Structure 1
Amino acid sequence: MKKIILVRHAKSSWKHNVIDHERPLNERGIKDAHLVSVNLKESNINIDLVLSSDAMRAKTTANIFISNLGIDSNIAHLNHKLYDFSGTDLVEVIRTCDDSINTLMLFGHNHAITAFANTYGSSYIDNVPTTGVVIMEFNITDWKNLNKGKTVQTLFPRDFK
């Protein structure tokens, strides 16, 4: 059994004159990342690997979750392929994970996050919001055999406000 915890990056700021890749989080995004990660902690999930897009807004979101969940930073890595909006590279990153990884946490971007959740999950989600978490389980032993799984939980900021 494999588990994926998908996290869409928190709300970013458009106030700064920077390229898309360097956009930081806004105040709401920081608050929502803390809110959702603190609530996720109650699930007591043991995470084997954290992969995040290397975009500023994704890696900042990941760092907030890592801190609040008490995840060892040595199992967290940036991956430029997760700076993906279509979902093609997201699927490739997952399929090439080492099979010793049972629970994978990924930080990325829409449309890729929502498309993955709807393609591989069992519940339709119109749009995974910023800082939205979708937890999915897959009855596989090898990541390369990724196929339709089960959506087991969603945590969206609006659920805690």
Structure 2
Amino acid sequence: MPKDVVPRPDAETLRAADADRHQIADRIKAALDEGRLSLSEYDDRVRQAYAARTYAELLVLVADLPKPGLSAAEVTARREAEARRAARKMPLALMVLWTVWGSLMAVNLMVWFLVSVTVAGDVYPWPIWLLVPGAALGAATVGVQVIRGQQRRR
């Protein structure tokens, strides 16, 4: 590679091909057919699409348009579903704590079971004491989710 050529890290600075321009023009045409663009907007955007040199210049022309065939209600429903999914997702720290607690509980239950099977007589069920930190962790999880829900409603 010559020394004066600098590699470009982002794909948007790459030059677009005729097929790319045609694909963007088709998306703009679909938006016109769906009534999202006026005829003059369509004209301007198609002219700019065929004059574009890079992907960045092409992508800007369709950035405000949904995929062809999607209605505004479908776009809104998808965004709301994504927001609900993100709100339900537990923070990473809580997931790690639940994993640690579950692992400790499983190991303790297995050891207690093996001891109680191999020893004659009753064995004190010490794994029950792990329910205390489990309950605290459950309360913390519920509290975090409630706080996140209240912040989302504001």
TM-score bracket, normalised by the shorter chain, equals under 0.3
The TM-score normalised by the length of structure 1 is 0.26
Which one has a bigger Cα radius of gyration? Answer: 2
Is the helix fraction higher in 1 or 2? Answer: 2
The structure showing larger relative contact order (alpha-carbon pairs under 8 Å, at least 6 residues apart) is: 1
TM-score by length of 2: 0.27
In proportion to residue count, which structure has more strand?
1
